[in-house]
């Protein structure tokens, strides 16, 4: 069978790598891919935005399954376009992908489904929002642009001044363009965050093991928000009991409510949760695998992902065996460019990839890399590499991941040094 993965980040490298391991899969293409996907699959120079070219490629190469990695093509209706062309694509259609594409829509589903979430109000006008903030008893707010903003459209505020500035940025200055035409002002929740992802065909839910991302740029969760500086899986803060609760009170009602709204969700439903003292609360839903959570998750998944994805499209997940996991935990450390998440330069030669990849239980997924005309691997983004290691314990996995990181270098490369420390500390208690 032939598979086409759409996207060019670390998540897509992990998807291509995992799908290429299926006994049923002979060939994996990635459009447009990166220097790492070129090693585990074949890159195709087509942008994720060019739907007609992707459809032509899938037809000409008789692709059996197309997997859409990122949110932008999902919310723009790539799966619908493939379906209309008679092609099989994994991921939610445009209507269901609104769970990620519109925070106002997502909140309306959460309320309709009676899923625990932060109290929130939507606005399309900054003066009304200003009045609301000034009249509030609280000084803690979260202001969120409605639409996609590459993970940057959320501002967590500790004062009314900050909240007013965030409203101005989103609604008046339109820092995130049309994504800020509507926005939410939310109650600020406290606690640790966890990512619970599930593969669902709209009828059956296969919950994946819980993971934790590290969104802040620097050690100790300090500094600006990023796309994620590292992740590990499983995350013990989501106990088995809590995971069942999340299935029953969060995932099941969400999937049923989407069905009722004629927006059946088929794909990966990713709940971003705050584990508050009062219990888990949904911060957001994403309509895809998390990046970097996908990398440690798929490093541990032993089941055949190709079969699971095909069964999702046909709504026969209920007929599959439960998912099988490597019992060993996985830790993923992101190596970033100097300056990220602010501005950064690209094009630096990366050294030591082969040496790092030879280490046992280590896989180096590429995120922002590309091959130059001489076949040299160079940096091509803010988050450059995702170094994953499996270990007997989380501490062991962390040690192996950082050992691999120490073999790799380029000008300005850096990482957080405390990925998975919260888990290691919790396990020690």
The contact set with ligand AMP (CB under 6 A) reads 118, 142, 144, 154, 156, 186-189, 193, 215, 272, 283-284
Taking the least distance from each CB to ligand GLY, the nearer of 73 and 290 is 290
By a kind-dependent CB cut-off of 5 to 8 A, residue 64 interacts, out of ligand AMP, ligand GLY, none, with none
Report what 284 binds from ligand GLY, ligand AMP, none; CB cut-off 5-8 Å by kind.
ligand AMP
293 makes contact with ligand GLY (CB under 6 A): yes
Token pair of 97, please?
């992908």
The pattern of x and - marking residues 207 through 236 that bind ligand GLY according to CB under 6 A reads: ------x--------------x--------
Q: How far apart are CA 163 and CA 121, in angstroms?
A: 14
> How many whole angstroms from its chain centre is CA 321?
25
Q: Which residue has the tokens 């957080």?
A: 416
Residue 189: name its binding partner from ligand AMP, ligand GLY, none (Cβ under 5 to 8 Å by kind): ligand AMP
Helix, strand and coil percent figures for the chain, each rounded to 5 = 35, 25, 40
Residue number, 73 or 153, with CB nearest to ligand AMP: 153
Q: Please, what is the minimum distance in Å from the beta carbon of residue 326 to ligand GLY?
A: 21
Q: Which is nearer to ligand GLY, 291 or 361 (CB)?
A: 291
Give the closest residue to 226 by CA, choosing from 342, 387, 101, 368. Answer: 342
* Structure tokens belonging to residue 182: 């509507």
Dist. CA 156–CA 47, nearest whole Å: 33
Q: From ligand GLY, ligand AMP, none, which one binds at residue 118 (CB under 5 to 8 Å depending on kind)?
A: ligand AMP
User: Which CB, 151 or 352, lies closer to ligand GLY?
Assistant: 151
Count residues binding ligand GLY (CB under 6 A). Answer: 7
Q: How far is the CB of 211 from ligand AMP (least distance, A)?
A: 13
Long-range contacts of 93-97 (CB under 8 A, 24+ apart): 93/266, 95/262, 95/263, 96/258, 96/263, 96/264, 96/265, 96/266, 96/267, 96/287, 97/71, 97/287
In whole angstroms, give the CA distance from residue 391 to residue 84: 44
Spatial distance between the Cα atoms of 251 and 260, rounded to a whole number of angstroms: 14
Candidates 37, 66, 93, 286; binder of ligand GLY (CB under 6 A) is 286
Give whole-number Cα distances, 146 to 115, 150, 409, in Å: 19, 12, 38
Taking the least distance from each CB to ligand GLY, the nearer of 29 and 365 is 365
Asked if 12 interacts with ligand GLY (CB under 6 A), we say no
Site residues, ligand GLY (CB under 6 A)? 151, 213, 228, 286, 290-291, 293
């Amino acid at each position: 069978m032939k598979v086409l993965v759409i996207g060019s980040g670390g998540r897509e490298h992990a998807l291509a790598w995992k799908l290429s391991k299926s006994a049923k899969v002979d060939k994996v293409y990635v459009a447009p891919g990166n220097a790492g996907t070129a090693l585990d699959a074949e890159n195709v120079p087509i942008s994720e935005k060019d739907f007609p070219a992707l459809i032509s490629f899938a037809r000409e190469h008789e692709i059996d399954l197309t997997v859409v990695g990122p949110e932008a093509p999902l919310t723009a209706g790539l799966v619908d376009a493939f379906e209309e062309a008679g092609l099989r694509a994994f991921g939610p259609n445009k209507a269901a992908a609104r769970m990620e594409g519109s925070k106002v829509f997502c909140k309306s589903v959460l309320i309709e489904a009676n899923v625990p979430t932060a109290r929130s109000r939507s606005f399309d006008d900054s003066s009304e929002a200003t009045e609301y903030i000034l009249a509030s008893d609280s000084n803690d707010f979260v202001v969120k642009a409605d639409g996609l903003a590459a993970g940057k459209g959320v501002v967590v505020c500790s004062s009314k001044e900050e909240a007013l500035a965030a409203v101005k940025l989103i609604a008046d200055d339109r820092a995130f363009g049309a994504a800020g035409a509507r926005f939410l002002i939310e109650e600020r929740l406290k606690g640790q965050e966890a990512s619970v992802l599930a593969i669902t065909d709209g009828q059956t839910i296969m919950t994946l093991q819980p993971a934790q991302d590290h969104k802040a740029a620097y050690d100790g969760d300090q500094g600006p928000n990023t796309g994620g500086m590292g992740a590990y899986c499983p995350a013990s803060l989501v106990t088995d009991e809590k995971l069942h609760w999340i299935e029953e009170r969060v995932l099941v009602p969400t999937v049923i409510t989407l069905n009722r709204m004629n927006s059946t969700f088929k794909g990966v439903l990713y709940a971003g949760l705050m584990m508050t003292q009062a219990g888990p609360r949904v911060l957001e839903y994403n309509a895809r695998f998390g990046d970097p959570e996908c990398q440690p998750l798929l490093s541990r998944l032993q089941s055949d992902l190709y079969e699971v994805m095909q069964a999702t499209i046909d709504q026969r997940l209920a007929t599959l065996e439960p998912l099988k996991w490597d019992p060993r935990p996985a830790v993923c450390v992101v190596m970033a460019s100097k300056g990220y998440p602010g501005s950064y330069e690209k094009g630096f030669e990366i050294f030591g990839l082969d040496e790092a990849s030879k280490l046992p239980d280590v896989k180096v997924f590429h995120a922002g890399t590309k091959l130059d005309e001489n076949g040299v691997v160079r940096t091509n983004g803010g988050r450059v590499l995702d170094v994953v290691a499996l270990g007997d314990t989380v501490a062991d996995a962390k040690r192996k991941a950082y050992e691999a990181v120490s073999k790799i270098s380029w000008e300005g490369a850096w990482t957080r040094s405390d990925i998975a420390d919260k888990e290691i500390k919790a396990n020690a208690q």
